[in-house]
Amino acid sequence: MRNVAGSLYGLAYGDALGKPTEFQDYATIVATYGPGGPRELTGWPALVTDDTQMALAVGESLLAAPSITPEALEPVLRQAFLEWAASPDNNRAPGMTCLRACAALSDGRPWQRATEAGSKGCGANMRVTPVGLMPGLSDDQRAGAAQLQAGLTHGHPTGLAASELTAYACNWLRNGLDPDDLLAALRDRCRRQRRIYRGDWLGDLWQQPGIAEPEDFIARGWDECLAALDRVERALAAGDFTGDPCRATGEGWIAEEALATALYCYLISPDEPVAVLARGAASSGDSDSIACLAGAFAGASLGLNAWPSAWQNQIEYGDRLARLADVWD
Ligand SMILES: [Mg+2]
């Protein structure tokens, strides 16, 4: 099935389809592509954005780290993010939070002093899927690594919780979870993790003004994610899937909305992966991030053969995507 490849390529395909539509409103997108949204990769190679670039940075860090512990992973992630920030290819409308945090990370200070503590922008969420796809991790390693890679740039608890949920969605789908059961599994994780602060991974990040205990810090993140998942459930139950998906579940510029709208675009038609990508790309909000997460979910479930085979040679960074997938599939 090659589900890891399916998910990694699905992420990149969604990113490429959403790249031209990220800053377009829904009416303009429909006027250009029709109500079905963009369904063809364009350009050779078909360019992706910072979403795929940073997901590769996370994935390659997981491969390069001597072990998946906070002490071993943090310096490798930091180096990969700094290399991304300095790369001449970092010209794809990168998020300001990532750029500011990387500038601070570059002087070697503890990451908790470099992160944008108030930011829950989707920039940590869009790059986390390799944490879900790497085989053989314990629950604490997967959850901790998902939150740590988020925390390096986005210190808000909702960014941490949404990243963990995104990683687990990919992990469960890759391992055969029925998409019909995905929302319930994610909501269950919100409830079970609500007061678990992973201090080994996060250190003193929780010490923010007005926060009395680490458990209070992280609970806010899980609560906001649960509310976003509730909106997905209501939107799917309402059954009207026409028009801009962001009207149902949010524009996706923030972490829990990127997760929610990507899940919504995916769960409307989990067996039609190209339609899933096109739905995410034809959105008024953060189209590349929504489409890339939706594509990562669809590909994790359906495998590489679900995508048009010609796209594999057309997508930018195909060699790096293939290398990660070959190790983990
Ligand atoms: Mg982007």
Token pair, residue 22, equals 């990220």
Asked if residue 207 belongs to a domain, the reply is no
| 199 CA from centroid of ligand 1 (Å) | 30
Q: 1 pLDDT exceeds 90?
A: no
| 48 CA from centroid of ligand 1 (Å) | 8
| 154 CA from centroid of ligand 1 (Å) | 16
Query: Span 303-316, mean pLDDT?
Result: 98
The predicted pLDDT at position 290 comes to 98
pLDDT, tens digit, 9 for 90 and up, residues 158-193: 999 999 999 999 999 999 999 999 999 999 999 999
pLDDT, tens digit, 9 for 90 and up, residues 32-88: 999 899 999 999 999 999 999 999 999 999 999 999 999 999 999 999 999 999 999
| 277 CA from centroid of ligand 1 (Å) | 15
The predicted pLDDT at position 115 comes to 97
Residue 81's alpha-carbon distances to 98, 152, 319, in angstroms, are: 9, 9, 19
| 212 CA from centroid of ligand 1 (Å) | 35
Asked if residue 62 belongs to a domain, the reply is yes
| 215 CA from centroid of ligand 1 (Å) | 32
| 196 CA from centroid of ligand 1 (Å) | 31
Residue indicated by tokens 């007005």: 210
| 93 CA from centroid of ligand 1 (Å) | 6
Q: What is the mean pLDDT of the chain?
A: 97
From the list 91, 68, 94, 236, the residue with the least C-alpha distance to 167 is 68
The answer to whether the beta carbons of residues 305 and 297 sit under 8 Å apart is: no
State the pTM of this model. 0.98
Count how many domains the chain has. Answer: 1
Report the C-alpha gap between 29 and 160 in whole angstroms.
Answer: 31
Assign residue 240 the CATH number of its domain: 1.10.4080.10
Report the C-alpha gap between 284 and 41 in whole angstroms.
Answer: 19
Asked if residue 151 belongs to a domain, the reply is yes
pLDDT, tens digit, 9 for 90 and up, residues 72-93: 999 999 999 999 999 999 999 9
| 19 CA from centroid of ligand 1 (Å) | 7
The band of 138, judged by pLDDT with boundaries at 50, 70 and 90, is very high
| 126 CA from centroid of ligand 1 (Å) | 8
Asked if residue 209 belongs to a domain, the reply is no
The predicted pLDDT at position 315 comes to 98
pLDDT, tens digit, 9 for 90 and up, residues 183-237: 999 999 999 999 999 999 999 999 999 999 999 999 999 999 999 999 999 999 9
Report the C-alpha gap between 311 and 299 in whole angstroms.
Answer: 13
Tell me the residue range of the domain where 303 lies: 3-202+214-328
Q: 323 pLDDT exceeds 90?
A: yes
| 54 CA from centroid of ligand 1 (Å) | 9
Report the C-alpha gap between 125 and 51 in whole angstroms.
Answer: 9
| 122 CA from centroid of ligand 1 (Å) | 10
Asked if residue 195 belongs to a domain, the reply is yes
